[in-house]
Structure 1
Amino acid sequence: MSTPLAPSPAPDRRTVIADTAIGLVAAAGLRGLTHRAVDGAAGLPAGSTSYYFRTRTALIAACYQRLAELDIGDIEGGGAPAALPPDREAAAALLAGLLHRWLTVGRERQLARFELSLEAARNPALEPELHRAGQAARARAVRILAALGADRPQEDAELLVAWIDGLLYDRLAGALARSRPAPDPAELTATARRMIDAALAGAP
């Protein structure tokens, strides 16, 4: 007789608050992000959000961290760190899968990420938090490109991340975003392959 699976642990309150805040930003922009709005949307007692995150800056910083955790979860497949892709084709397939996910089921999260990132340009207190939150994904890109033979994996990874962000922004919020067809896995795979090849232009 099989042993029933244990229920997944409920997310802690900080995570619930961060997830709710991200959803509010995706739906209404930063003007919709208030402590009271998060309490209401999360079904929490009044004052809960301000108890855990006293200021709006602290709440936005929590969003940065949570977005980074979710993105890394996507990159790693939600479990232990994934093995490095063995070749360019595997790397392109991984990247295409991430792009497709972030353009479809992860669309709202990415829109919130762009909105929240712009706030750091206006609020210097948030710059270190944004920088810290982005390090894990960038470090993963460095490791992948180094394994594929990149001459300058750190510099090449910076370019690759910039291209990924540019593509996501163009497809989600650019001038032609509303008129574009639904994301196509084959097209994204071809695009990802070009990006990987460009990042590894000097590699053997």
Structure 2
Amino acid sequence: MDRRDQLADAALTVLARSGMRGLTHRAVDREAEIAEGSTSYYFRTRAALLQGCVERMAALTLDEVGDPSDPSGPNDPSGPTDDPAAALEQLGERVFAAVHGWATHDRDRLLARHELLLESARRPELRKVLAEAADRVITVVETQVAGLGLADSHARIVDLVGCIDGLALSKAVAGEPIDAAALRRRVDGLVRGLFSGD
């Protein structure tokens, strides 16, 4: 990992814990446990630091979802299937893993992303990078459900991504232990509702 990525990761942690107002070069220096002034050497302005955060977030997202031409994803050895029931089962498993991960061990990343999403409403240059990463996620899911032959599959996938993002955020901020079995049932119901038929 290069120094810019290290600092961007520290900045994302600061964003998650302290919000947009808490994001300063000095706070990132402290989080990264490096000499004061180091962050400002790599990211001269706050705008540059925010851009670095967004680019790092996008890169992490793209690494996570993998290549759009590979429907199985980076960590799924089962590969695509022509069986609609099996395809929905695979999709449910991947969605559950994503939501559970975002709400638990990737909680800081989820919170930081929402801080950046809110900031991007006022900064088009940030919005563009985040939108490109979101489009990549949608493309990967499209390959997963292509064999289902559903009308308006793109719109359904956009709805799915919005729903799971909100679900993960609600779990992440609840401050309560996550019931994995109950969460899986909610995810399965959501996937079936959106993709079981017209």
Task: Name the TM tier (shorter chain).
Answer: 0.7 to 0.9
Work out whether 1:185 is the aligned partner of 2:180. yes
Residue identity opposite 1:43 in structure 2: E
Match of 1:16 in 2: 6
Task: Kindly state the Cα deviation for residue 134 of structure 1 after the two structures are TM-superposed.
Answer: 2.2
Tell me: CA distance 1:148–1:69, structure 2 relative to 1, closer, same or farther (3 Å): farther
Alpha-carbon distance in structure 1 between the residues aligned to 2:42 and 2:167: 35
Match of 2:140 in 1: 140
- Which of 185, 196, 203 is matched with 2:191 structurally? 196
Task: Kindly state the Cα deviation for residue 129 of structure 1 after the two structures are TM-superposed.
Answer: 2.3
Match of 2:31 in 1: 41
SS at match of 1:15: helix
Q: Retained in 2: the 8 A contact 1:57–1:126?
A: no
Task: Kindly state the Cα deviation for residue 141 of structure 1 after the two structures are TM-superposed.
Answer: 1.9
Q: Retained in 1: the 8 A contact 2:15–2:23?
A: yes
Task: Kindly state the Cα deviation for residue 169 of structure 1 after the two structures are TM-superposed.
Answer: 2.3
SS at match of 1:151: coil
Alpha-carbon distance in structure 1 between the residues aligned to 2:41 and 2:139: 33
Match of 2:15 in 1: 25
Tell me: CA distance 1:19–1:88, structure 2 relative to 1, closer, same or farther (3 Å): same
Residue identity opposite 2:159 in structure 1: L
Match of 1:105 in 2: 105
Work out whether 1:153 is the aligned partner of 2:153. yes
Residue identity opposite 1:141 in structure 2: V
Q: Which runs of 5+ in 2 are unaligned?
A: 67-72
Q: Retained in 2: the 8 A contact 1:74–1:98?
A: no
Report the TM-score when normalising by structure 2.
0.81
How many residues matched?
A: 186
Q: Retained in 2: the 8 A contact 1:24–1:32?
A: yes
Q: Retained in 1: the 8 A contact 2:156–2:194?
A: yes
Q: Which runs of 5+ in 1 are unaligned?
A: 1-10
Alpha-carbon distance in structure 1 between the residues aligned to 2:166 and 2:145: 19
Task: Kindly state the Cα deviation for residue 37 of structure 1 after the two structures are TM-superposed.
Answer: 1.9
Task: Kindly state the Cα deviation for residue 61 of structure 1 after the two structures are TM-superposed.
Answer: 2.4
Task: Kindly state the Cα deviation for residue 145 of structure 1 after the two structures are TM-superposed.
Answer: 2.3
Tell me: CA distance 1:81–1:94, structure 2 relative to 1, closer, same or farther (3 Å): closer
Task: Kindly state the Cα deviation for residue 17 of structure 1 after the two structures are TM-superposed.
Answer: 0.8
Alpha-carbon distance in structure 2 between the residues aligned to 1:186 and 1:55: 45
Match of 2:70 in 1: none
Alpha-carbon distance in structure 2 between the residues aligned to 1:135 and 1:50: 31
User: Alignment RMSD, CA only?
Assistant: 2.3
Report the TM-score when normalising by structure 1.
0.79
Alpha-carbon distance in structure 2 between the residues aligned to 1:112 and 1:46: 23
Q: How does 1:82-121 map to 2 (within 5 A)?
A: 82=76, 83-84=79-80, 86-121=86-121
